[in-house]
């Protein structure tokens, strides 16, 4: 057990052996408890989401921070714990978006920014980072969490879009085609390249289309 280099938390690894006839050896380091400062800040911001009225600006800020921090840290030190914070944060965002004011919500920008954050988390270039944990099924559980998160977000975006459409129609001043085509196009373009689930992107596409296109008009 040692402190994580330039991060909060403790890194661990086990002393292992395969048989009595072979010498013991150090196992793979577990960095799942290592969290860099930028991701500690993201975690703090995410916890504050429900302390006050949730705004689209709050959600966009966190999503942008996730993508920026992954990009900045990937060339230095990026830990499995960092990606865990990112995964947990996009899950919270997916829930929080339900509570934003639909009139103020920039749905297109949210889907674009959220998609960019998700794409950063599961970038295949980071596959080695995910392996630095000793927990069985760790990556599978995180990928499942991401799938659940984007499905939740697609549902809430579709609900906001339907409510916004209805409100604008009542005022009969809304050019709805451009906006809603834009939302649909951004949901459609949120194609994910999973690390260990080759069909995840296809499942997300199907989920988005099903939930959005069948939402109440």
**Pairwise CA distance, residues 78 & 71, whole Å:** 9
Residue appearing with tokens 């690390």: 195
CB–CB of 64/44 below 8 Å?
A: no
> Is 62 or 24 the better-scoring residue by pLDDT?
62
Q: What is the chain's percent helix, strand, coil content, to nearest 5?
A: 65, 5, 30
Domain boundaries, the chain: 37-213
Nearest to 192 by CA among 127, 118, 131: 118
pLDDT tens string 72-121 = 876 568 999 999 999 999 999 999 998 887 665 578 888 889 999 998 99
pTM of the model: 0.76
pLDDT of residue 104: 55
CB–CB of 25/17 below 8 Å?
A: yes
pLDDT at 190 over 80: no
> Dihedral sign, CA of 149, 121, 118, 90?
positive
């Amino acid at each position: 057990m040692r402190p994580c280099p330039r991060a909060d938390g403790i890194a661990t690894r086990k002393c292992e052996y395969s048989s009595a006839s072979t010498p013991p050896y150090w196992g793979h380091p577990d960095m799942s408890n290592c969290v860099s400062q930028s991701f500690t800040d993201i975690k703090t911001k995410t916890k504050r989401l429900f302390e006050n009225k949730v705004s689209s600006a709050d959600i966009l800020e966190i999503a942008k921070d996730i993508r920026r921090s992954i990009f900045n840290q990937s060339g230095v030190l990026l830990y499995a714990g960092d990606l865990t914070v990112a995964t947990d944060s996009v899950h919270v965002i997916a829930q929080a978006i339900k509570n934003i004011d639909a009139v103020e919500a920039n749905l297109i920008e949210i889907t674009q920014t959220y998609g960019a954050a998700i794409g950063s988390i599961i970038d295949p270039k980071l596959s080695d980072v995910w392996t630095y944990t000793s927990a069985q099924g760790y990556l599978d559980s995180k990928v499942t969490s991401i799938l659940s998160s984007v499905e939740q977000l697609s549902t809430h975006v579709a609900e906001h879009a339907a409510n916004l459409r209805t409100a604008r129609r009542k005022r009969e001043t809304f050019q709805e085609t451009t906006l809603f085509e834009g939302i649909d196009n951004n949901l459609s373009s949120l194609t994910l390249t999973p690390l260990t689930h080759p069909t995840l992107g296809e499942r997300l596409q199907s989920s988005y289309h099903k939930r959005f296109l069948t939402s109440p008009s």
